Amino acid sequence: MNTQKGRVNRHRTFQTLVPAAPARFIEVYAKLTEYNGAGPASICGRGCSFFGEPLGRPFGGGQRTTRHMNIAKKPLWTEASAAPGTIGKSVIDCIGNTPLLRLERVGPNYPNVEFYGKAEWFNPGGSVKDRPALEMIREAESSGQLKPGQTILDATSGNTGIAYAMIAAALGYRVKLCLPASASEERKKILKAFGAELVFTPGDEGSDGAILRAREIIAAEPGKYFYPDQYGNPGNWRAHYKTTANEIWEQTAGRITHFIAGLGTSGTFVGVTRRLKELNPAIRCISLQPDASFHGLEGWKHMATAIVPGIYDAKLADANLEVGTEEAYRLVKRAAREEGLLLSPSAAAALEGCFQVAASLGPDERAVIVTIFPDSGTKYLSERFWDEV
C-alpha cells in the first residue's frame, strides 16, 4: 500500500468511528497517524482520550505497546458526571486518578527495591485531601446532613481546609475553618482566595487545638453548620478505599509488596490498607508517625500524645515507624535536586519511611514500595528550613 492510499484508508477508519467529526479533525488525525501508522497513541503517553477512545489503543488497529498497556485498559479520566454533549470537566471531576511516580536516583543503596510515590498534588486542590473532602460532602448531601444555606465547619491543618473551600466554592456553600496559626502562609492565602472564613488557634496546640475550637463553635450554633469532622468521619477512609487503593493496585499491575503512609487523620492509611489487604493479604502496610510530639510535619499526628482520630485503627498496620522532622527537611532538598520533585516535608517524611523499610529487607529480597506524596513543596517555600538544613 502506498502512502497516499494508506492515508485515505485511515481517513475512512476515523470517519467510521466518528462520523460527525469535522473535516479539519479528520485531516489532523491523518497527519498524526503518519508518525508510525498507529494513531496518536504513538506520540501521547498521557492518560487522555481522543473523541472518547483511550490513546493507549490506536484507532487504526496498531499494536499496543507495553508502555501503554495500563492506559489502554480504560481512560484515566471519565466524563460520567457531565451532561450529554458537555465539553470538558468540572473541577470536581478532576479529583483522583493521580500519577504514580517512579523514583530513579534517591535510593541507589537499595538496588533490589523499586520506589514509587502517588503524586497527590495533581488533584485540583493540590493535595490528597480533595478525595475525602469530596466524599464527606457528597455523603452529607445524600443523607440530608448538609442542607442548602448551611456553612461547612471543620478543623484542619490546611490541606483538607483547602479541599473543603475549593469544593464548596464549586458547589455554592460557605466554609468556616479552625486552623493552627502555625500553618504555612501559602496555605492561609490559598484558603482566603477560595473565600474561607478562618478561625486561628494557637500554633503550639497543632490540629488538636483546632479540633477543640471547632467543637466549641458547633456546640454553640449547631443548626448553622455542617460539621464533617474529618477525624471521625468514615467517609474519610472510604474515599481512599474506593479510589486511592484501587488506583495503586492498577498502576503497579498488582506488583506492590509494601504500602507506606503517614498518619494524620489516618484516613489515607486506613482506607488504602483495608482495600489492599483484600486484594492481596501479603502486602505489608506500614504506618508512619513523627518521632516527637513537637514536630514540623504538618498534618501528621504523634498518636501517643495527640487526640486520636475516631477512624484510626491501630490493628491495621503491620508495623509503625517514626520519622524525624530534620531527616524529612533534608530529603526535601535531595528530592528536588536529584529527582526534580518539589516535595512537601510530609511527602519527604513518607519517602524517608520507605528507605527505613528498604533498609530492613534482606540482601536478596526484592520489593515494590509505594507511598503517598500528600502534596508538593509549593505551599512551604516560605519556611525557614530551606535555608537552615
Q: Which of 75-79, 167-171, 183-187, 320-324 has the lowest mean pLDDT?
A: 75-79
Give me the mean pLDDT over the 227-248 stretch. 97
Give the model's confidence band at 385: pLDDT under 50 very low, under 70 low, under 90 confident, else very high. Answer: confident
Q: What torsion do the CA atoms of 308, 312, 313, 318 make, to the nearest 10 degrees?
A: -100
Contact at 8 Å (CB) between 230 and 154? yes
What is the tens place of the pLDDT at every residue in 22-39? 444 444 444 434 433 433
Chain segment 311-341, per-residue pLDDT in tens:
999 999 999 999 999 999 999 999 999 999 9
Q: How far apart are CA 161 and CA 280, in angstroms?
A: 33
> Side-chain half-sphere of 52: how many Cα atoms within 13 Å?
10
Mean pLDDT, residues 31-59 taken together:
36
Amino acid at 264: G
Which one of 266, 346, 376, 379 is the catalytic residue?
A: 346
DSSP 161-217: HHHHHHHHHHHT-EEEEEEETTS-HHHHHHHHHTT-EEEEE-GGGHHHHHHHHHHHH
Q: Given the C-alpha cell 486520636, which residue does it identify?
A: 308
What's the rounded mean pLDDT across residues 365-373?
A: 98
Q: 130-226 in CATH: which number?
A: 3.40.50.1100
Q: Does domain 94-127+236-388 have CATH number 3.40.50.1100?
A: yes
Mean pLDDT of 204-213: 91
Quick one: pLDDT at residue 240?
A: 98
Q: Name which of 70-74, 84-88, 168-172, 328-332 the model is least confident about.
A: 70-74
Catalytic residue (one of 129, 176, 188, 379): 129
At 46, the pLDDT band (50, 70, 90 cuts) reads: very low
All three cell numbers of 382, joined, read 516560605
260 contacts 350 by C-beta, under 8 angstroms: yes
Q: What does 243-307 look like in DSSP terms, one character per residue?
A: IIHHHHHHHTTT---EEEEE-SSSHHHHHHHHHHHHH-TT-EEEEEEESSSS-S-TT---TTTS-
Alpha-carbon span 223 to 340, nearest angstrom? 48
CA angle 228, 231, 233 (to 5 degrees): 50
- The question of whether 346 is a catalytic residue gets the answer yes
Question: How confident is the model over 252-256, as a mean pLDDT?
Answer: 98
Distance (Å, whole) CA 151 – CA 217: 12
Determine the pLDDT at residue 220. 95
Cell of 152: 461547612
Task: Using DSSP, state whether 105 is helix, strand or coil.
Answer: coil
Q: Do 130-226 and 94-127+236-388 fall under one CATH topology?
A: yes
Contact status, residue 221 vs residue 229, Cβ threshold 8 Å: no
Separation of alpha carbons 140 and 229, rounded Å? 11
What number of residues does the chain have?
Answer: 389
Find out whether 367 and 257 touch, Cβ atoms under 8 Å: yes
129 catalytically annotated: yes
- CB under 8 Å to 219, separation ≥6 — which residues? none
| Mean pLDDT for the stretch of residues 180-193 | 92
> What residues does each domain of the chain span?
3-73, 94-127+236-388, 130-226
Greater confidence, 47 or 221? Answer: 221
